[in-house]
Amino acid sequence: MTMRVLTGITTSGIPHLGNYVGAIRPALAASRVDGVDAFYFMADYHSLIKCDDPARVQHSRLAIAAAWLAAGLDPERVTLYRQSDIPEIPELTWLLTCVTAKGLLNRAHAYKAAVDANSEAGEDPDAGITAGLYMYPVLMAADILAFNAHKVPVGRDQVQHIEMARDIAQRFNHLYGREFFVLPEAAIEEQVATLPGLDGRKMSKSYDNTIPLFEGGPKALRKAILRIVTDSREPGEAKDAEGTALFTIFRAFADPDETGAFRSALHEGLGWGEAKQRLFERIDRELAPMRERYEHLMAHPHEVEAVLMAGAERARFIATPLLAELREAVGLGHGTVRPLPANDKDKRKKKAHKGPRLVSFRDGDGRFRFRLLSADGEELALSRGFDDPKASGQAIQTLLGGVDDLEIVLADGVLELRQQGQAVALSPPISVAGHEEATSRLRESLRELAAENDA
């Protein structure tokens, strides 16, 4: 079973060293672990909550995507996309909104902090607070649940949001009687350092103490490093490296040997000016090759666009059928395989719990397809596109009526389901070693569905 790891970055700024060390670098490492299916995205809908400057949002989306790619993200391996390219996310937001307790949202830290600040200032409690801020956790839950992510790497400040996503998912599952949603877990990387900024506090846009990652080139990097606050010890005086912002930042980029040498040099009296030069050189060594790529991408935004559009397509490949299922579950479906008996909720629950299922949906190109899912929701096959829902429904009936004559052949790394010589559906990519097992799973699942269909 693969593990889906998903995280988003709000597009309201330009990536800085703190983002790189705290989020980009660990997320890239996570994406390279075997068995991990990584989904990383630009949370641009979220950015509208804080930022009403279109130019800034636009630039930030590009800069963040370019930074990910420049830092080595492999778009073949990672699904990289923009939240706003996935219409299923706002759609799911509404379905979740309708099962979310208002009281839960009242307790969200960010909203509460805003209310408290108003009360302290003697203002109306909701002065200046948008419904967007209030709904922030639901939108974030939709980001996560639309892809059934297992693990969500986030900073400590976001843990409450993941807990809310779990709550909301649980409530939905309970109300509609099936495990539609995986309950996501926050992954907080304890070893990943929070990088201090110029003034020694956490590096953050809100403190205006950041060091830019790529923007402004080596010049801007050096200039910012020169502004790191140090004490007044002169060259020649012994300096205690531990706990200083300068040394902590150095350590985030250097290996233990280099770090040890730097610590000793400071102890032996290395001047702060010289130390800053060494810090600059060490960071620049890591960033220079990436910066070249970053600058190229910033100058060729259509290359980034192509990656993001492909990412959105891959992401929707997961979200579209899930939403079709959810619409169906809440009563907004268009009628699929077997109309279920009305007023028979208990029976529905039991049935839905176990076996494989077929889910019809309309894809991004407006064609009608169906998907065969195993009992635990794994995709077994995707049908070809049909012009209308009737044709798709007809194909399902033909498929289920002829499971015994169905040919399943391995072709180009996928299993092809053929009926009367015609390809009806394809499995996801499959290894040669696993194809026999996959073939029998497919056939078994279809047999089971055919039997239900006849019953």
Q: Which residues bind ligand TRP (CB under 6 A)?
A: 6-8, 10, 43, 46, 140, 143-144, 152, 154, 158
Query: Half-sphere exposure of 359 toward its Cβ, with a 13 Å CA cutoff?
Result: 31
Please identify, using beta-carbon distances, which residue of 115 and 152 lies nearer to ligand TRP.
Answer: 152
Please identify, using beta-carbon distances, which residue of 206 and 343 lies nearer to ligand TRP.
Answer: 206
Please identify, using beta-carbon distances, which residue of 193 and 238 lies nearer to ligand TRP.
Answer: 193
Query: Which residue number is nearest to ligand TRP in terms of Cβ?
Result: 8
**283: which residues sit within 8 A by CB, 6+ positions away?**
17, 221, 225, 249, 253
Closest CB 71 distance from ligand TRP, rounded Å = 17
d(CA 74, CA 96): 32
Nearest CA to 424 out of 440, 403, 444 is that of: 403
Closest CB 341 distance from ligand TRP, rounded Å = 38
d(CA 399, CA 365): 23
Helices and strands, number each (H, E), in the chain: 17, 11
Please identify, using beta-carbon distances, which residue of 43 and 318 lies nearer to ligand TRP.
Answer: 43
Please identify, using beta-carbon distances, which residue of 154 and 254 lies nearer to ligand TRP.
Answer: 154
Please identify, using beta-carbon distances, which residue of 8 and 18 lies nearer to ligand TRP.
Answer: 8
Helix, strand, or coil (residue 10) = strand
Decide: 97 and 50 in contact? Cβ < 8 Å: no
DSSP 186: E
Closest CB 153 distance from ligand TRP, rounded Å = 8
Q: Measuring CA to CA, how many Å separate 119 from each of 49, 126, 131?
A: 21, 9, 18
Closest CB 81 distance from ligand TRP, rounded Å = 12
d(CA 137, CA 142): 9
Closest CB 26 distance from ligand TRP, rounded Å = 13
Closest CB 46 distance from ligand TRP, rounded Å = 5
Please identify, using beta-carbon distances, which residue of 11 and 244 lies nearer to ligand TRP.
Answer: 11
Tokens 């109300």, residue?
175
Closest CB 186 distance from ligand TRP, rounded Å = 9
Beta bridge partners of 385: none
Closest CB 123 distance from ligand TRP, rounded Å = 25
Helices (H), 6-87: 17-19, 25-31, 44-50, 54-70
Closest CB 168 distance from ligand TRP, rounded Å = 13
Please identify, using beta-carbon distances, which residue of 144 and 359 lies nearer to ligand TRP.
Answer: 144
Burial 298-322 (b: 16+ CB within 10 A, else e): beeeeebeebbeebbebbbbbbbbb
Beta bridge partners of 4: 37
Decide: 386 and 392 in contact? Cβ < 8 Å: yes
Please identify, using beta-carbon distances, which residue of 151 and 371 lies nearer to ligand TRP.
Answer: 151
d(CA 69, CA 159): 26
